[in-house]
Amino acid sequence: MERLLKSYRAIPRDATVRLAKSTSNLFRARAKATVKGLDTSGLTGVISVDPGARTADVAGMCTYEDLVAATLPYGLCPLVVPQLKTITLGGAVTGLGIESASFRNGLPHESVLEMDVLTGTGEIVTASREQNSDLFRAFPNSYGTLGYSVRLKIELEEVRPFVALRHLRFSSLVEMVATMDGIVETGAIDGTPVDYLDGVVFSADESYLTLGFRTGTTGPVSDYTGQDVYYRSIQHDSGVTHDRLTIHDYLWRWDTDWFWCSRAFGAQNPTIRRLWPRRYRRSAFYWKLIGYDQRFGIADRIEKRNGRPIRERVVQDVEVPIGRTVEFLDWFLANVPIEPIWLCPLRLRDDAGWPLYPIRPHHTYVNIGFWSSVPVGPDEGHTNKLIERAVSDLEGHKSLYSDAYYSKEEFDVLYGGERYRTVKKAYDPDSRLLDLYAKAVQRR
């Protein structure tokens, strides 16, 4: 904390405060820093775990990989563990996160009991539902524009050593979404409680739901950190298939191949995969490759050399009401040449809601994730803009970790508007931190 505050005081008053962070899970453009940022190097660990209370005190820059490693020995786990190991707890709270427990546990910020935040004034403020509640409520989806969490106290839940998986295949998107809706509403399938739920769409007539059931029963387990690729294990000809993973491997099942995005680097080619060191089969390494591409324009050069148009990055997660999900999927499959598509249902736990990401409590939404590129259109961000309009038309919301093209007026309607400005003025009156619209939309 002393190093953090010292680094804050060293930043000139006319310079924007940023994190001195070499890695990020953001996909949108960021300006190159001109001054040294905040030193958070001492804020990367788990402070304590209380097995009796099922809580943990965690430093803001602690990765979920390290957090899970500290809680699993107690048979405990965060209520929602985002898919990638290098996502930090503070990042998931200020920038949202989701996973297959979200249909019963909501979003990561809803399990926060209290947090200490370094605000734009250079003060450490404790925020909770009772204390500085305006900051607590506005913090999710603020992306560091209201401050940086340096300590968070979170709820934990019990887990079992293994997760039994059931992969259900559907030839109809209507049937698949209806089955998902029924599981969310009842928390069960055929009377059996479901602990985890997500899905994958490969095409209009091939989609899957994966149901996870916590279990202590020992037995053989699969390993998708080697030659086998997890998402390919989901596919089958018809009906239901079964699988088993340790709880650790279940939580990180998507990280080894960055969902399916490792195929862009050839890592799913069996010959290349055998030569690809296991320690580099993880999202953090693929992120480095993406960084090199962004820095040197490698992919664009290859496309130009082969006489093809350069490509537009379409890396997005959106939330659509479950009743409009089939409409969105039909539109997307007809207009955007990207597959597979990830589905993850969620319901908020907190009745009061969160003003910077105002999806409705007691309503089921489906997170729809798609991460690839398409041929560039007639104007900048052409396909991303089409997606934004489609999501808004269906009363949905879009996460802000990637490219966004909203007008200032539309952004205000969708992401807090006057409520955000009121909290911003209270905790960052001199605008030492970036404005949310500037950070999420404007190119700086």
For the chain, the domains span 2-159+418-440, 162-253
Residue 28: pLDDT over 60: no
Q: CA-to-CA distance for 317 and 82, rounded, in angstroms?
A: 13
Q: Output the CA–CA distances (angstroms, integers) from residue 220 to 12, 163, 223, 246, in the order listed.
A: 58, 11, 10, 10
CA angle 71, 76, 80 (to 5 degrees): 90
Taking residues 53-57, what's their average pLDDT?
98
Tens-place pLDDT, residues 58-88: 999 999 999 999 999 999 999 999 999 999 9
Residue 29 has pLDDT above 80, yes or no: no
Fold of 162-253: Alpha-Beta Plaits (3.30.70)
Cis bond upstream, residue 340 (ω within 30): yes
Give pLDDT tens digits for 187-203.
Answer: 999 999 999 999 999 99
- The confidence band for 239, taking pLDDT boundaries of 50, 70 and 90, is confident
Looking at the predicted structure, is the pLDDT value of residue 249 above 60? Answer: yes
Query: Distance between CA atoms of 9 and 167, rounded to whole angstroms?
Result: 53
Tens digit of each residue's pLDDT (9 = 90 or more) over 216-238: 999 999 999 999 999 999 999 98
Is 444 a residue whose pLDDT tops 50?
no
Q: Distance of alpha carbon 65 from its chain centroid, rounded?
A: 14
Query: In the prediction, which pLDDT does 153 show?
Result: 98
- To the nearest 10°, report the CA torsion of 95, 47, 287, 261: -70
Instruction: Using a cut of 0.85, tell me whether the model's pTM lies above it.
Output: yes
Distance CA 49, CA 308 (A): 54
What pLDDT is recorded for position 116?
A: 98
Given a cut of 50, is residue 48 above it in pLDDT? Answer: yes
Please give the average per-residue pLDDT across 306-317, as a whole number: 86
pLDDT at 304 over 80: no
145-165 residue pLDDT tens: 999 999 999 999 999 999 999
Range 287-302 average pLDDT: 74
pLDDT at residue 310, as a whole number: 82
Q: Mean pLDDT across the stretch 357-385?
A: 94
Mean pLDDT along residues 31-46 = 82
DSSP label at residue 10? H
Distances (CA, A) of 181 to 185, 284, 346, 348, 375: 6, 33, 10, 15, 34
Which CATH number is associated with domain 2-159+418-440? 3.30.465.10
- Give CA 71 to chain center in angstroms: 20
Reported as a single tens digit per residue, the pLDDT across 95-142 is 999 999 999 999 999 999 999 999 999 999 999 999 999 999 999 999
The pLDDT score that the predictor gives to residue 301 is 73
What does residue 433 show for φ and ψ, rounded to 5 degrees? Answer: -100, 155
The structure tokens listed for 17 are 């405060």
As a whole number, mean pLDDT of residues 364-391 equals: 96
Common-topology check for domains 2-159+418-440 and 162-253 = no
The token pair that represents 193 in the structure block: 């409680």
Tell me if 348 sits within 8 A of 107, measured CB to CB. yes
The helices-and-strands tally (H runs, E runs) of the chain is 16, 16
Q: What is the mean pLDDT of the chain?
A: 93
What would the mean pLDDT of 359-374 be, rounded to a whole number?
Answer: 95
What token pair was written down for 77?
A: 């786990």
**Dist. CA 41–CA 96, nearest whole Å:** 22
Single out the residue of 442, 411, 435, 441 nearest to residue 142, CA to CA: 435
Residue 328 vs residues 172, 225, 233, 373, 396: alpha-carbon distances, Å: 14, 33, 26, 18, 10
- Residue 208 pLDDT > 60, yes or no? yes
Please tell me the predicted confidence (pLDDT) of residue 111: 97
